Chain A
Amino acid sequence: MTGYIVSLFIAYGIGHMVVRIAASGVPRVLRICLSFGTGIGLTSCLYFWWLLSGACKYGFTAYFAAELLAIPVLYALGPRPAVKCAGGTAKGRAVFRFERKRAAVMVLTVILFVAALISSLAVFVIFSSVIPNGEWDAYSIWNLHARFMFRDPAAWKDMFNSALEWSHPDYPLLIPGSLARSWQYIGSEKLFAGQALSFLFVYGMITAAISAVWRLKGKMQGLLCGFALLSATYLFQYGLMQYADMPLAFYFTASVSAYLLYNDSRDNPRLLLLAGLMASLAAWTKNEGIAFFVIFALLLLILEKKRSDLKYFVAGALPVIITLTCFKITCSFSNDIFMGAFLDPGNLSRLTDPMRYLVLLFTLFNYSYFGGYIGKFGLLIYLAVVGISMTAALKKGLLFAALIYAAMAVVYFMIFVMTPANLEWLVTCSMNRIYAQLLPILLMLLFLAARPADEILSGGRN
């Protein structure tokens, strides 16, 4: 257990040192989430380089020393801490000045939120203990790759053996690398490392979404977004199954949050560095993340008028994208679903088959339930009752996020249309997971567009 805690602390330390370069204007809670995500992502890259370069033959101690050394080096590269003025200003602090009614509702909401949070934590722990190895994808892909990277570092490339093509060896290595790294710290394979990693990503994703909405649309609005996320049971289901969809959802949420904060402040282009880093880590998590990264970069290029700021996005993304490119070139490039969808000679006939579109559109609706009692209708009713209210600056940020969501939906849809794989099988296996990956962005969009609960409860005076 001590080894695991040390591994987390070091990952967090590295992440924190990177995030502080761009942290101005980022709420403290979101900063903590981003630091964890960054640390876990970057150390998994480092672990990959350790294996690929053959440095693993010198033992783990050298790797450990390199990670430890990275913290002061990154600290030296980062900005000098500003000298704090005594007293400071009240701006940015949580100052609760509510009328009686508003205060009462706020207290009630917080109590309900704490109850929901504790219940969800308990649910996660209970179910995680039932499946310590995770479910199907966990032991046939992610944890299996982690075992190859941990059990025999000198022969880790055996996982790309053609006999194991079913295990998707082309999938990026954030989860396997991170797991194998923590096992190295522990000194043995402990199942709780996988469970804890999933736990961190699920609750990190929820906290990041709450924190971004809290910052941009008020405290109560952030909590309401939290209720929607906590009640979406599919998010927990895929988390405790140790699938990579929740880490992916975390990086989707984190990159969109960083962009929204950049769009809101306009005076801290370094937030784009975080957005670039998070989007690139999404690409390092799962192949769908590569589509997300490309869409994110293209939309920035098209929509962002302040071109000089884009260099921050590139700088943030570059280290991870180089790692990913190197992995794809040297280890495994071919992807069955992607290659099938775009290079299969029969894809023209599938593309022009109206039945496939009809079946998919019907399935899209059929699979859009994401668990819990709120559901899509609950969200729509809530939105209809409270109405929409956005500032011009927020509108631009929301347009960007909505376009990302729409573009990702189109990419997924076209892969479903063009895939030579059995459509029914692919839909059954992946449609719910795709919804789960994108759900946090959708919920953030809805709550950022909705009239803020803080304003409603104060009778419009906010």
Chain B
Amino acid sequence: MRSLAVVVFAAVGCYSVINLLIGAEGSKACFSDISAIENEYRALKSELPGRGTVGYEAGGAGSKEYFVAEYALCPLVLDRDGPHEYNVRVDEGRASVVKNEGAAR
């Protein structure tokens, strides 16, 4: 009985992993890659300063957008509170850089 338990345990463990491999193709949809969003923000880099803090105006974009923007534009710090000289603005899903000459911050 105990010997059988050992073999069954090993077999179930093995089947469990193999089954995961068989279903891998279908399960890929559970994850979402951010590369496309990241590339969109990366394209703005040339219009922004190399370091420091710039503004971020979401315009309805979710926090994921903002996190990915920060991830893409790092080491720039994207500040969601208040305008800066340079601001990344997201309008209808499109990101652009807006320069605010009169910004105090």
Question: Which residues of A are interface residues toward B (Cβ below 8 A)?
Answer: 101, 105, 108-109, 112-113, 115-116, 119-120, 122-123, 126-127, 130-133, 135-136, 139-140, 143-144, 147-148, 151-152, 155-156, 158-159, 161, 163-164, 166-167, 220, 223-224, 227-228, 230-231, 233, 241, 372-374, 378, 382, 385-387, 451, 453, 456-457
Contact = CB atoms under 8 A, between A and B. Distances in A.
A385 B2 contact: yes
Nearest to A161: B77
Contact of B13 (A140, A166, A374): A374
Interface in B1-20: 1-3, 5-7, 9-20
Given A120-B20, A224-B13, 12 more contacts: A108-B10, A112-B13, A127-B24, A127-B28, A133-B33, A140-B70, A163-B78, A163-B81, A372-B16, A374-B12, A386-B5, A457-B3
B75 A147 contact: yes
Given A230-B13, A374-B12, A143 B6 contact: no
B30 to A, nearest CB: 9
A144 B14 CA distance: 36
A-B pairs, top 8 by smallest CB distance, nearest first, are A227-B13, A231-B16, A372-B16, A112-B14, A163-B79, A373-B16, A140-B67, A152-B75
Given A233-B20, A373-B15, A456 B71 contact: no
B2 A147 contact: no
A133 B74 contact: no
A231 B13 contact: yes
Contacts of B2: 385-387, 451, 456
Nearest to A378: B12
Contacts, number: 161
B24 A385 contact: no
A135 B31 contact: yes
Contacts of B10: 108-109, 112-113, 223-224, 227
Given A105-B6, A133-B38, A385 B1 contact: yes
Nearest to B74: A147
Contact of A167 (B31, B64, B70): B70
Nearest to B22: A119
B13 A144 contact: no
B69 to A, nearest CB: 11
A387 B5 CA distance: 11
Contacts of B80: 163
A82 B12 CA distance: 44
A379 B9 CA distance: 9
Contact of B74 (A144, A166, A228): A144
23 contacts: A108-B10, A109-B10, A116-B18, A120-B21, A122-B24, A123-B17, A126-B21, A127-B27, A133-B34, A143-B71, A147-B71, A152-B75, A155-B51, A156-B75, A158-B77, A159-B75, A231-B14, A373-B16, A386-B2, A387-B2, A451-B2, A456-B5, A457-B3
